[in-house]
Structure 1
Amino acid sequence: MLLATLIHRASLSCPQVGLDQATQLLAQHYGLAGTLQSLGSQQDLNYRVDTPQGQFVLKICRGDYAALELQAQHAALGHLQTHAEVRVPKVIKTLAGDELLTLTIGGQTLHLRLLDYLDGQPLTHMPHLSREVIAGFGDLCGRMSLALAPFEHGGLERTLQWDPRHAPELITHLLTSLERLPHRDALERVAAQVQARIRPLAERLPWQAVHMDITDDNVLWQRDAQRHWHIQGVIDFGDLVHTWRIADLSVTCAALLHHAKGDPFAILPAIQACHAVTPLQREELQVLWPLIVARAAVLVLSSEQQQRLDPDNSYLLKNAEHEWEIFHVATSVPFELMEAAILSSVGETPTPIASQDFAPLLPELVGREFALIDLGVLSPHFEAGNWETPGVDRRLLDEAAAVHGLAASRYGQYRLSRTVPDSAAEPETFPLHVELHVPHGTVLEAPFAGTLHQDADGVVSLQGVESSVCLMGVKPSLKPGALLVKGQVFGEVQAPLTVQLCRADLEPPLFCTPSRASAWQILCPSPAAVLGLACDAEPELDAHALLARRDASFARSQKHYYTDPPRIERGWRNHLIDMQGRSYLDMLNNVAVLGHGHPRMAAVAARQWSLLNTNSRFHYAAVTEFSERLLALAPAGMDRVFLVNSGTEANDLAIRLAWAYSGGRDMLSVLEAYHGWSVAADAVSTSIADNPQALSSRPDWVHPVTAPNTYRGEFRGQDSALDYVRSVEHNLAKIAASKRQLAGFICEPVYGNAGGISLPPGYLQQVYGLVRAQGGVCIADEVQVGYGRMGRFFWGFEEQGVVPDIITMAKGMGNGQPLGAVITRREIAEALEAEGYFFSSSGGSPVSCRIGMAVLDVMEEEKLWENAQVVGGHFKARLEALIERHPLVGAVHGSGFYLGLELVRDRHTLEPATEETKILCDRLRELGIFMQPTGDYLNILKIKPPMVTSRSSVDFFVDMLSKVLDEQL
């Protein structure tokens, strides 16, 4: 009887009620007139109704569903009205006062209902759901479960095809009845596995009323002003039933697999959030994944059947693709792995493999000392990118074995050699095995009783009752299928030996991703007990604990990128690498102009440190040679160099030089600019992104002029120089009227803080002339934009066709070594002597000077300026192409490797897309890219990577950027 009911319910097609008929029914029974729009459904007919009285949903289902079932849904909606945390529709009564109408239309017995319409957006077709949204679904499941726990109604005792209690019978029937079914073998295998796993736990699962359809279709969301999603309500109670409590979460998690991009672990935040609201029993957690897989199978089988019954149903056709995607993701991993992951995610301890009382696998080597080789991220064996050499790990083990006789890798030590640059995917860096280099012919004995197997790839395994051990590099002495007792000889080592311990009947990978490591370790623990060798990786310092220590000791005004930053301890060229071996494309680091880990920098620094490092008051060659090199790069007439530690110190010194030379104190600076953190450099900085109080806290000797922003400034376009110069003239007139001497004007010759916007042509020529006419000094802050980064020019001021009086620089000069410089003319430099001599403790040290010269050498030898022009030109062209495709992209600024992508909500009003930019940067980090916003509105991506950045890295960045913009920010 049960199966017959299930078959009948699963075979129902959608009611046939046309738009005109529905409009007539609405007017006749509810007195409403308006426009109707089909909402689509698998077996019901739903119309959205827009009327002057409001918005509603007309629901029509077949009379095969008992009226009592629909009354139960109405009662549940009434019950939930008192639970403000879960917003649900209200039932609208007919003109006669009924909540439910049963009519015969065209020979069909149908049930009609009208509900009010809830505003909001389903997330069904959102390409990406954030971790917070996924957790939000789980939290809603928990809250709905609590709200429905006391609810009871006779209509809940129903036979429903979606009830997981009936999944095995329904799957079996549909597999039998559907011909030419895709993936039949997988479906049949899943059906058997699901039944075997659910049956032993079924009687211990708690029951209650459950919604059974809290999915991306039926949960309505809305974004706030910060672009964060918030739940607005839950609709569609058509699957309400009394069944296992955990069924609700299983349905939700199955739906979320559609958004998992192939990774079933993506649902774990939902499980954690649900468990936090409604603590789940261990049995519920154990049965959860089998129920999810069962749901996936029922979805695709029901969809296949409904399409054959109702081939013109566009709703079915649209959903079929993502239902098959759910099935493929759900069946992509072993049941055991997901059970371990689910239990671990909520603090439950999965049952580990019993690893006691193993006999030694290599009895001849018990007690012998192995060289345990460090293959991790910080390994001293790795330098200058040699970890990218194929087979490097095995070579290091070979070399160690040649010296020490025995060598082994460490289980669970994240491998640097397996990092993957320019990849959005998490790399498989966690080894679930140990590789040993031992003498060929070393005897192997069974660590436990079991059956010997050998696959086509030559992998030998011993399958025990609870455990198995998989071996590579073995010559077995017994035939496959042999039954071994513990301690029995079964072969010898004939190549580097790979040893992996795991649960019986599993085929684990040799490496897994960091996010799956904790689950796989439960199923595939260290083989140390089999080997009698302490071969486990040393525990890593917990990144969260380290961050807490930082916050407790390091002044918090010294911010870090990201709320939950990865721990970065290594870099190579234009990538940074975290402690789990994930490589991040560095689009932030204009300090490391040569890239990270450059061997020349390491060699030069080490050599000079081994000789001498002191201050520039001593006499040594490096300070002279470096100063000469810098003057050779400067315009004619500049003949004096100051060496300092940073851009802030350089700009501070430049202001002091202006004061000393001019005899005045008043400085002109440009609005929205940043020049540093010292008292003087901060005074002339007006960026509210860096200092929210900047505009209200400038000292009276600072006179900000209008920012010459040709994109969103007061005056726009390339012919706006005269308009912006008026602001300079106005401030100069004020200074002159007050009888105060002008000291100077400081400005980035390319607007760095706004993402590298070029100043309007002729702007600096006119401003420099006006400033000099009043006895002031012109300072070009080249800290960010100079030194070849812009590609077309070595100095930013070259674009404007001017020569400043003072040049300041830092950043890439030392490739990370604290190094800055001020270049000027002799008369300006010597004006400072009247106020005393200048000294910087580390500025111009032998180490800094040697590194500074090495940077210039490498830039020339590796043609990095040319790279900035060629690859930078390709970069800008690809970014500009995004403007046509993505409305959020307003403009692309800059050149070379100093670019700005400005995001706006409206290209006419230029409303800044501040929140979208933050979300975009966080999402790019998930995809393996470091990027941060800039500008007063924090709506500009300031793109300033190392100058070694390659074309392939540029393409990866733009592709990922486009992908995120496609994700409906």
Structure 2
Amino acid sequence: MPDDALLHRTQLPRPDVTAEEAAAILDSFYDLRGDIKELGSQQDRNYRIDTGSARYVLKICRVDYATVELEAQNAAMRHLSAKPDSPRVPQPFPASNGEDILFLAVGGEEYQVRLLSYLDGEPLTRRKYLAEPSVAALGAMTARLSVNLADFDHPGLERDLQWDLRRAGPVALHLLQAVTDQQARDRIAKVMVAAVRRIQPLGDLLRIQPIHHDVTDDNVVSRPDVSSRPIVDGVIDFGDLVNGWLVADLAVTCAALLHHADGDPFFILPAVKAYHAVNPLTETELKVLWPLIVARACILIASTEQQLAIDPDNEYVIGNAAHEREIFEVATSVPLTLMEHAIFEAVGLETPAPEISSLGLLLPGVSPDAIRLLELDLFSPHLSQDTWSRPGIELKLLESAARETGIAVTRYGEYRLSETIPDSASEPQTYALHMDICLPAGFQAAAPFAGRVERYGERTVLAGDSIRLHLLGLDCLHEAGMALTEGEPLGTVEGSSGHFGLLRIQLATEAGLVPPFFARPSHASAWSRLSPSPSRLLGVDCDAPPPRSAEILSRRESHFAKPQKNYYTRPPQIERGWKQHMFDVTGRTYLDMVNNVATVGHGHPRLAEAVYQQWSMLNTNSRFHYEVVAAFSERLARLAPDNLDTVFLVNSGSEANDLALRLAWAASGARNMLCLLEGYHGWTVGSDAVSTSIADNPQALTTRPDWVHPVMAPNTYRGPYRGPNSTADYVAAVRPTLDALDAKGEKLGGFICETVYGNAGGIALPPGYLQEIYAEVRRRGGICIADEVQVGYGRLGHYFWGFDQQGVVPDIITVAKGMGAGHPLGAVITSRAIADALEKEGYFFSSAGGSPVSCVVGMTVLDIMTDEELQENARDTGDYLKARLEALGQRFPIVGAVHGMGLYLGLEFVRDRQTLQPATEETAAICDRLLALGVIMQPTGDHLNVLKIKPPLCLTRESADFFADCLARVLEEGW
């Protein structure tokens, strides 16, 4: 039991010293004057003084604390400051009389007073979300602190401290006396006893050394990294410094992280891994880490209840109470052994696999050859289109399969697509920790090992020496407590005679453990240690193969050319899509907010059927004579202005723009081309030549051929002329280039630009801009090219073509991406005269552009767009989404502007709304956080600070809300 002095100190309120009294102390004994502010503390009084030139903290504590303990804290801070790789720590400042610690009477009571330097930086407490780099940095800093305190020694380290986790059990039982809610008190006590039982037998094997013992989100300070994420670099409050278990230091840090964890205890693992890399822990220390975290959670919540009972006005304690309750709930949400497995795996150590090789057969009357395995992952041929979302689909498929062979079984360790949850910010529980067996009702099961029958709700459990078999759907023949031998009848499958029944089987390695039937993918490895595969019970391998994402990514990097980048540093392996959603191999659903290629949505059955039908008949090139190429060309011409009646079909947007340049040269007889800065038109030699976006090519501005003449980008948001009244200024900015060509007597071939500034994030051109520029170009014999590859074809909602918004008719329209819905298809639409001009250079040919399959794809996409009113949906849902995004700008200063219209929107992030300094690193971090919440989003623009929002045109209002809600959450909680 803790001694009386320790128990007495747990009941002390804070010193009764006002801000005015603290100011008098600072003036009289430290010759300091300035602004005074109280800082939070549980049992001290802390005041910060700002003198204008420096800031300090006055710490006031009761004389009940031994002076030698305060001396140890001061000495430790000086010790650490002498270590070159230590975190920043405060430094003690002596009083005017040279003493580090003063004994002063205030209001008739004596206190101990110290002055420390104040560490600038942001604490982590009020940040709801911490990114993995910040979590890891906190673990690494705790480790460095422990390493640098290892050679520190002081008599004040030997102390009785309520927070010393070596005394956690007795202290918790004492503190619980203040908890008035008996149900809560009993729950905390039960949890504490379970944790102490894990810790106590191993306590003598744990290393003891000086530890800070309070490296928490309250007691660290951070500096922002380049993305404005907080990275901790300083630690304060050495009030819990003690000779204690080394691993307890990390346990305290991890416990503090749990209220940032969004309910996921695995959130601490980056901190554990980072700590272990700096200051390796023994296997015993790793084994007790999670029980110590649980014990810390119990102490926190019990101490809070007690402190509020004796000091109900302590705002610091009141403010932390909700956090500490959350810490307790997360710490107790999973079995202790689960986190032990997770911690070992995080640091690269393996725990022994359970021994289950001696298990017999559960269904001895079933031949392994009769078993049909049913696949329910995202590769399953049984889950076509959206059947995965239909209620009861698993049972329906099982029964159908069982009718063919007599018995059908689902796979253990399978990430089931049928368990996914669209538009969910949380990782769904898709990993099957069980197997479902569909077989005739009444079928008899036998005990596969000797054990005792137990009941857990609807589950029948056969408990053996080292393994437990959980069964659901079994009519057990025995009462609870009955002992069975291996092979003895256990029960029969429930259900009506002549019908199929469903038997669910699951193994567990611990007594009393009731595993979930499904686990989150990030928890799957640890859970599979506690609930291993029951395949052996059927005598056949029923396990799903694990995903090979890392291996496949490595193969990609080995043979796929590096310039062909993928999204994200750690990309999910996406293998399926449906409408506006995409699915990875773990069954996680992502809202696709970037795929303007998938115009009509992923996996559209009408498009798939049309491609199948045509490909099964004919696919060749456009030099053959077949009807659909005529029909599609005719239809495209009808979509264009009257004088643009001639169509080239190509493979891509790059090819379309490249061909458009050739047409302009052929029709004008000139080579010089105008283009806009910040523009992007493709990857071919020609289309790249007129692309000036440095986001796509950092050398773009210095490597243009001499026939390319970039002019000022009419960026009405961050350009030199801003707002809708800037048209004249931007037109005037083009004239010097035109005048220079005129002065040299050089002709102009043409002008190419996106009709909405797509790559810059959907910024509208200033009103009337194209009317004036087109007139100038045509006056010089040039051809006007409207690049509609990204922004056109109904995506703007209010207009089918972007040039309609400008009230102009171009000479050439280029289009691709959406017109093929993912199939390689593009088009150039122009006049007969311009098209014929190319023939003097020979004929033109594009392998897949006008093939029968490509034409059918193009026709079907247009049919779907019309029948499903996708342009109208782009208008209505796009307007709704834009309004929601604009509302975020009222709340968050980082939101600079919302560009675009329909479902081509750009959300631009800035660090300052006056200077418009781009928030480039923040935007990348925001995209990473959105991915974790189930949204695919990528940055664009020359500064990579714009979210280019261009989802499939079938985006629903519900999904638009999900995206806006996720974005609001990121901006509010951090990234």
Q: Sort the TM-score into its range (normalised by shorter chain).
A: over 0.9
Q: 1:582 aligns with which of 585, 588, 593?
A: 588
**Alpha-carbon distance in structure 1 between the residues aligned to 2:558 and 2:490:** 57
Name the structure 2 match of 1:318: 319
Q: Residue deviations 1:279-324, cap 9 Å, x none?
A: 1111111111111111111111111111111111111111111111
Q: 1:507 aligns with which of 483, 499, 514?
A: 514
TM-score by length of 1: 0.98
**Alpha-carbon distance in structure 2 between the residues aligned to 1:109 and 1:354:** 64
- What is the 5 A alignment of 1:631-650? 631-650=637-656
Tell me if structure 2 keeps the 8 A contact 1:900–1:942.
Answer: yes
With 752-761 and 828-837 compared, the bigger mean Cα shift is at 752-761
Tell me if structure 1 keeps the 8 A contact 2:141–2:233.
Answer: no
Q: State the AA in 1 paired with 2:915.
A: T
Q: Residue deviations 1:227-272, cap 9 Å, x none?
A: 2433331111110011111110010000000100111110011111
Name the structure 2 match of 1:360: 361
Structure 2: gaps of 5 or more residues: 495-500
Tell me if structure 2 keeps the 8 A contact 1:432–1:524.
Answer: yes
Tell me if structure 2 keeps the 8 A contact 1:3–1:170.
Answer: no
Q: State the AA in 1 paired with 2:848.
A: S
**Alpha-carbon distance in structure 2 between the residues aligned to 1:846 and 1:179:** 78
1:114 equivalent in alignment to 2:115: yes
**Alpha-carbon distance in structure 1 between the residues aligned to 2:447 and 2:561:** 57
Name the structure 1 match of 2:219: 218
Tell me if structure 1 keeps the 8 A contact 2:2–2:171.
Answer: no
**Alpha-carbon distance in structure 2 between the residues aligned to 1:531 and 1:64:** 67
- What is the 5 A alignment of 1:389-408? 389-408=390-409
Name the structure 1 match of 2:17: 17
- What is the 5 A alignment of 1:247-258? 247-258=248-259
- What is the 5 A alignment of 1:58-97? 58-86=58-86, 87-97=88-98
User: Aligned-pair distance for 1:703?
Assistant: 1.2
**Alpha-carbon distance in structure 1 between the residues aligned to 2:187 and 2:274:** 31
Residue aligned with 1:365, SS: coil
1:662 equivalent in alignment to 2:694: no
Q: State the AA in 1 paired with 2:381.
A: P
- What is the 5 A alignment of 1:534-545? 534-541=541-548, 543-545=549-551
Name the structure 2 match of 1:6: 6
Q: State the AA in 1 paired with 2:47.
A: Y
Q: 1:601 aligns with which of 599, 604, 607?
A: 607
Residue aligned with 2:469, SS: strand
With 437-446 and 622-631 compared, the bigger mean Cα shift is at 437-446
User: Aligned-pair distance for 1:33?
Assistant: 2.1
**Alpha-carbon distance in structure 1 between the residues aligned to 2:485 and 2:802:** 77
With 527-536 and 585-594 compared, the bigger mean Cα shift is at 527-536
Q: How many aligned residue pairs are there?
A: 967
1:912 equivalent in alignment to 2:913: no
1:734 equivalent in alignment to 2:740: yes
Residue aligned with 1:220, SS: strand
User: Aligned-pair distance for 1:412?
Assistant: 0.3
User: Aligned-pair distance for 1:182?
Assistant: 6.8
Tell me if structure 1 keeps the 8 A contact 2:574–2:582.
Answer: yes
User: Aligned-pair distance for 1:455?
Assistant: 4.0
User: Aligned-pair distance for 1:936?
Assistant: 1.2
User: Aligned-pair distance for 1:668?
Assistant: 0.7
Residue aligned with 2:971, SS: helix
Q: State the AA in 1 paired with 2:745.
A: K
User: Aligned-pair distance for 1:755?
Assistant: 1.4
1:831 equivalent in alignment to 2:837: yes
Q: Residue deviations 1:889-908, cap 9 Å, x none?
A: 12111111101111122222
1:491 equivalent in alignment to 2:498: no
1:768 equivalent in alignment to 2:774: yes
User: Aligned-pair distance for 1:368?
Assistant: 4.1
**Alpha-carbon distance in structure 1 between the residues aligned to 2:259 and 2:310:** 25
1:422 equivalent in alignment to 2:423: yes
User: Aligned-pair distance for 1:530?
Assistant: 2.5
- What is the 5 A alignment of 1:546-695? 546-695=552-701
**Alpha-carbon distance in structure 2 between the residues aligned to 1:640 and 1:290:** 74
**Alpha-carbon distance in structure 1 between the residues aligned to 2:226 and 2:470:** 55
**Alpha-carbon distance in structure 1 between the residues aligned to 2:33 and 2:719:** 51
Tell me if structure 1 keeps the 8 A contact 2:130–2:974.
Answer: no
Runs of 4 or more, structure 1, over 6 Å off, are none
**Alpha-carbon distance in structure 2 between the residues aligned to 1:484 and 1:408:** 26
User: Aligned-pair distance for 1:49?
Assistant: 1.6
Tell me if structure 2 keeps the 8 A contact 1:42–1:315.
Answer: yes
1:519 equivalent in alignment to 2:526: yes
1:857 equivalent in alignment to 2:863: yes
**Alpha-carbon distance in structure 1 between the residues aligned to 2:33 and 2:715:** 54
Structure 1: gaps of 5 or more residues: none
**Alpha-carbon distance in structure 2 between the residues aligned to 1:163 and 1:676:** 64
With 953-962 and 115-124 compared, the bigger mean Cα shift is at 115-124
**Alpha-carbon distance in structure 2 between the residues aligned to 1:427 and 1:264:** 15
1:932 equivalent in alignment to 2:938: yes
Q: Residue deviations 1:706-729, cap 9 Å, x none?
A: 111222222112122111111222
Q: Residue deviations 1:670-718, cap 9 Å, x none?
A: 1111011111111111111111111122111111121112222221121
1:845 equivalent in alignment to 2:846: no
CA 97–182 in structure 1, closer or farther in 2 if over 3 Å, else same: farther
User: Aligned-pair distance for 1:385?
Assistant: 1.2
**Alpha-carbon distance in structure 2 between the residues aligned to 1:191 and 1:321:** 20
Q: State the AA in 2 paired with 1:934.
A: T
Q: State the AA in 1 paired with 2:22.
A: A
**Alpha-carbon distance in structure 1 between the residues aligned to 2:12 and 2:737:** 80
User: Aligned-pair distance for 1:177?
Assistant: 4.4
Name the structure 1 match of 2:286: 285
**Alpha-carbon distance in structure 2 between the residues aligned to 1:367 and 1:723:** 80
Name the structure 2 match of 1:149: 150
**Alpha-carbon distance in structure 2 between the residues aligned to 1:224 and 1:874:** 35
Name the structure 1 match of 2:331: 330
Name the structure 1 match of 2:498: none
Q: State the AA in 2 paired with 1:17.
A: V
Residue aligned with 1:364, SS: coil
Tell me if structure 2 keeps the 8 A contact 1:575–1:596.
Answer: yes
With 96-105 and 749-758 compared, the bigger mean Cα shift is at 96-105
1:35 equivalent in alignment to 2:35: yes
Name the structure 1 match of 2:44: 44
User: Aligned-pair distance for 1:121?
Assistant: 1.1
**Alpha-carbon distance in structure 2 between the residues aligned to 1:72 and 1:714:** 61
**Alpha-carbon distance in structure 2 between the residues aligned to 1:659 and 1:182:** 84
Residue aligned with 1:94, SS: coil
Name the structure 1 match of 2:160: 159
Q: State the AA in 2 paired with 1:217.
A: D
**Alpha-carbon distance in structure 2 between the residues aligned to 1:795 and 1:697:** 31
**Alpha-carbon distance in structure 2 between the residues aligned to 1:290 and 1:697:** 61
**Alpha-carbon distance in structure 2 between the residues aligned to 1:455 and 1:111:** 57
Name the structure 2 match of 1:438: 439
Q: State the AA in 2 paired with 1:726.
A: A
Name the structure 1 match of 2:539: 532
**Alpha-carbon distance in structure 2 between the residues aligned to 1:620 and 1:467:** 68
Residue aligned with 1:569, SS: strand
CA-atom RMSD in angstroms:
1.4
Residue aligned with 1:585, SS: strand
Tell me if structure 2 keeps the 8 A contact 1:352–1:523.
Answer: no
**Alpha-carbon distance in structure 1 between the residues aligned to 2:611 and 2:6:** 76
User: Aligned-pair distance for 1:52?
Assistant: 4.8
TM-score by length of 2: 0.98
Tell me if structure 2 keeps the 8 A contact 1:418–1:429.
Answer: yes
Q: State the AA in 1 paired with 2:27.
A: A
Residue aligned with 1:363, SS: coil
Tell me if structure 1 keeps the 8 A contact 2:493–2:503.
Answer: yes
